Structure 1
Amino acid sequence: MAYIDALQRQKAIFLGGMSGKRAVVPFQAAGLRIAAKQQLSARAWAYIDGGAGDETSIAANAAAFSDISILPRMMGGEGPADFSTRLLNTDLAFPLLLAPIGVLDLICPEADRVVARACRNVGIPMIFSNQAGTPMETCAQDLGDTSRWFQLYWSKSDDLVLSFIQRAEACGCSAIVLTVDTTLLGWRSRDLALGYLPFLRGMGIAQYTSDPVFQALLNQGAGAAITGAPKPTVTLQTIANLLQLKANYPGGFFHNLFRKTPLEAVRLFINIYSNPALSWEQVIWLRQQTKLPILIKGILRADDALKAMDAGADGIVVSNHGGRQVDGAISSLPALKTIRQTLPKPFPIVLDSGIRSGSDVFKALALGADAVLLGRPYAYGLAVGGQRGVEEVILNMLNDFELTAQLAGCRNIQEIDGSMVG
């Protein structure tokens, strides 16, 4: 499904309505979320939809957009609208990319590939998740010529970090998005209530199991050598989960039935996947290892934004991780406004967390973002309609933004500035 401009798509939808056809994917954010919940298991829903603590930060992200009003300008003249832009070395037809979301296989098999194909069809770049269920190389093939970035979590092995970077370069990624707000896993109450962490079942670790450095560590016995870690009580449920782990691990159930490798791989992953000691000095080291642009994701303070720039970052992603890490953290939108005052354009700033509509995209751009990341809504679309669901969610977002911008009197990105909101 190629991109269709808003007016043409509106006409097609209304004409379809004359024949009794209705959209499968809800247009409003609340309806989309409800529809997705109806399609997912309790565990999948908790992981995809949930956040840290009492989830006040999730609600605050949406409320922050409601507190901003658009100030439409009338009689702006005629002429074609063009909302394309260039961010670092990536050309964007619209100022939007798909955010990295881990363990999408909770929604459907090979979910990362499904999302990659949707991005290819609508021409929107995808950021490969560090916690994907499919290796980046496979998703890169599915994307075709569509741009892609790679999200990087800094593990305890610098050799593994370097291997991820080199693989991202080799499969055509045009930027590295270093996520720095997840050096520890947040207190995610819904997952805790279910006692469920998908990584322990071998899900969301495909970037690791496909990596030569990780495999070398496994072959050296690094996973088997981990001692002192707590072990679950052996029950029928424990056995069932271990069998599920063997089924999820590359090669499948029968290949892995009598092998210890899947369990050792999960132990190794849990032991090294995050690094609480991550520092700005490591960002400086990262800058020396790749020529790709580096964006630091998870910035909420102006002083951290300055440190990122000083460490050699080419841009930042203002984000509170969708409310999944620190409950009560400042919402991304007001953080963006403050940070942009400290780091004026042309320093690139991307906004993540809370985008639910085209008007949200407009408000983020008006407050200083160069582009936005779309997260949970496309996961909801995946749950509701598979690849077509993802495509529909993206098109709905773009069409909504396109009409919002034009009705507000703006025909290009440059015209969407601080004067357009109040």
Structure 2
Amino acid sequence: MEEITNVMEYEEIARQKLPKMVYDYYASGAEDQWTLKENRNAFSRILFRPRILVDVSNIDMTTTVLGFKISMPIMIAPTAMQKMAHPDGENATARAASAADTIMTLSSWATSSVEEVASTGPGIRFFQLYVYKDRNVVAQLVRRAERAGFKAIALTVDTPRLGRREADIKNRFVHEPLPRWIQTLLTTCVLSTEPPQTSDSGLASYVAGQVDRTLSWKDVKWLQTITSLPILVKGVLTAEDAKLAVQNGAAGIIVSNHGARQLDYVPATITALEEVVKAAQGRVPVFLDGGVRRGTDVFKALALGASGVFIGRPVLFSLAADGEAGVRKVLQMLRDELELTMALSGCTSLKEITRSHIATDWDPPRSLPSSKL
């Protein structure tokens, strides 16, 4: 573990350590997995325009998210069933996030409850929410999150149905029942009712079947009537939906394609980001998840207008490889890389990172400044 020098190296360790079914569940995307690859590849097509001869002896990466001050604009995205990666699961992730003084988002499909995560100690935590057909379940989950001290709701809006993840189909992940201990944990944390025990439907598909396919913008309004917590709309990829999110009272937007696990051939989130930021017009903060593996990626997202990024798979893979210590190291490596990128780009604070620090393949031709001889 001491020889790991970047976030991506954890994935191979996780692949070797985890059962194939679990690794594939975490790692795979939908259908042809074009968007899964594009989430990474799109970052590589954005180049830097660094400024030189700037005093970068002191660099400040602190920022504020929904009024909460954190150490850096790198936060933890919701990812399901973390105890399949490591016995400590979401509790280890919560402790690592707290140690890094950043935000953790707990999945609705977590294998640790909001109460258990809260008991790990202080920290700023958000709760990711799916809206279930039974609205009493939704209200119960939201109340539990509020009582446990969670500070915001991240409403996932891109999953009226589960995407077609062919690796899971091959592995029968969505058909075979999950191990009994995972079933018990997930049931307790999500539905507080026992799912039917059948031989042809696993718990993951059962829970997915509870998600309300009629979910619409009116439900965002409804959610505001049952909680005073700010609501982030997670899963926005277009200007049209960004405007609707603002109109319907969202406190923030997360540009996300669900880790490329839902609809294949949607754009990479870094490609969709600027359109959403422009549509939001500064009325709410816009965040990004998907494909972030380097501090350079974080810088590029900030330059395109993001207020911060959330990371998902790097947490799962580092958790599988080395538990809490792995997640801590991932957060530290990304922090260190972002700091270096800022220094080499001539930026001493996040507010100094501007659109002019990057060049994208969709930029118009840049005219050179005129000079008089």
Task: State the Cα distance separating 1:349 from its structure 2 match.
Answer: 0.4
- Tell me, yes or no, if the aligned pair for 2:63 and 2:71 is still in contact at 8 Å: yes
1:183 to 160, 166, 174: 160
Q: Deviations over 1:191-250 (max 9, x none)?
A: 101111399325377465257xx44x66xxxx66x9xxxx547xxxx9xx9xxxxxxxxx
Cα distance between partner residues in 2 of 1:40 and 1:97: 24
Provide the secondary structure at the position in 2 that maps to 1:192: helix
Cα distance between partner residues in 2 of 1:207 and 1:171: 18
- Tell me, yes or no, if the aligned pair for 2:8 and 2:293 is still in contact at 8 Å: no
1:415 maps onto 2:343 in alignment: no
- Tell me, yes or no, if the aligned pair for 2:176 and 2:199 is still in contact at 8 Å: no
AA at the equivalent of 1:340: V
Provide the secondary structure at the position in 2 that maps to 1:97: strand
AA at the equivalent of 1:415: E
Cα distance between partner residues in 2 of 1:62 and 1:39: 24
Q: Deviations over 1:298-335 (max 9, x none)?
A: 00011011111111111110000111111111110111
Cα 1:184–1:266 shift into 2, 3 Å: closer
Cα 1:204–1:304 shift into 2, 3 Å: farther
Count of aligned pairs between the two proteins: 357
Task: State the Cα distance separating 1:270 from its structure 2 match.
Answer: 5.3
1:133 maps onto 2:70 in alignment: no
1:110 maps onto 2:47 in alignment: no
**What is the aligned partner in structure 2 of residue 197 from structure 1?**
174
**What is the aligned partner in structure 1 of residue 329 from structure 2?**
392
**What is the aligned partner in structure 2 of residue 328 from structure 1?**
265
**What is the aligned partner in structure 1 of residue 67 from structure 2?**
89
2:58 to 52, 63, 80: 80
339-348 or 382-391, which moves further after superposition? 339-348
1:272-287 to 2 correspondences below 5 Å = 272=210, 274-287=211-224
Provide the secondary structure at the position in 1 that maps to 2:17: coil
Q: TM-score, normalised by structure 1?
A: 0.80
Cα distance between partner residues in 1 of 2:261 and 2:159: 9
**What is the aligned partner in structure 2 of residue 256 from structure 1?**
none
1:306 maps onto 2:243 in alignment: yes
Cα distance between partner residues in 2 of 1:204 and 1:37: 23
1:155-194 to 2 correspondences below 5 Å = 155-194=132-171
AA at the equivalent of 1:90: F
Provide the secondary structure at the position in 2 that maps to 1:38: helix
Cα distance between partner residues in 2 of 1:286 and 1:99: 21
Q: Structure 2 unaligned runs (5+)?
A: 360-373
**What is the aligned partner in structure 2 of residue 101 from structure 1?**
79
1:20-419 to 2 correspondences below 5 Å = 23-24=2-3, 26-78=4-56, 80-142=58-120, 144-197=121-174, 200-201=177-178, 203=182, 206=185, 208-210=187-189, 214-215=191-192, 232=199, 269=207, 271-272=209-210, 274-419=211-356
Q: Deviations over 1:340-391 (max 9, x none)?
A: 1222225200101010100000000000000100111121111211111111
Cα distance between partner residues in 2 of 1:160 and 1:332: 31
Provide the secondary structure at the position in 2 that maps to 1:200: coil
**What is the aligned partner in structure 1 of residue 362 from structure 2?**
none
Q: TM-score, normalised by structure 2?
A: 0.90
AA at the equivalent of 2:256: S
- Tell me, yes or no, if the aligned pair for 1:96 and 1:374 is still in contact at 8 Å: yes
Cα distance between partner residues in 1 of 2:232 and 2:177: 29
Provide the secondary structure at the position in 1 that maps to 2:59: coil
Cα distance between partner residues in 2 of 1:267 and 1:37: 23
RMSD: 2.3
- Tell me, yes or no, if the aligned pair for 1:110 and 1:133 is still in contact at 8 Å: no
- Tell me, yes or no, if the aligned pair for 1:131 and 1:204 is still in contact at 8 Å: no
- Tell me, yes or no, if the aligned pair for 2:111 and 2:189 is still in contact at 8 Å: no
Task: State the Cα distance separating 1:27 from its structure 2 match.
Answer: 2.3
AA at the equivalent of 2:305: G
Provide the secondary structure at the position in 1 that maps to 2:50: coil
Cα distance between partner residues in 2 of 1:355 and 1:403: 16
Task: State the Cα distance separating 1:111 from its structure 2 match.
Answer: 0.9
Q: Structure 1 unaligned runs (5+)?
A: 1-21, 242-264
Cα 1:44–1:266 shift into 2, 3 Å: closer
Cα 1:27–1:417 shift into 2, 3 Å: same
**What is the aligned partner in structure 2 of residue 12 from structure 1?**
none
Q: Deviations over 1:150-172 (max 9, x none)?
A: 00011001111111111111111
Provide the secondary structure at the position in 2 that maps to 1:150: strand
- Tell me, yes or no, if the aligned pair for 1:127 and 1:149 is still in contact at 8 Å: yes
Cα distance between partner residues in 2 of 1:344 and 1:179: 22
Provide the secondary structure at the position in 2 that maps to 1:317: strand
Aligned-residue sequence identity (percent) comes to 34
Q: Deviations over 1:248-291 (max 9, x none)?
A: xxxxxxxxxxxxxxxxx98974542x111100001011112211
Task: State the Cα distance separating 1:107 from its structure 2 match.
Answer: 1.2
Cα distance between partner residues in 1 of 2:204 and 2:125: 27
Larger-Rg structure? 1
- Tell me, yes or no, if the aligned pair for 1:122 and 1:391 is still in contact at 8 Å: yes
Cα 1:59–1:268 shift into 2, 3 Å: closer
Cα distance between partner residues in 1 of 2:176 and 2:298: 32
Task: State the Cα distance separating 1:90 from its structure 2 match.
Answer: 1.9
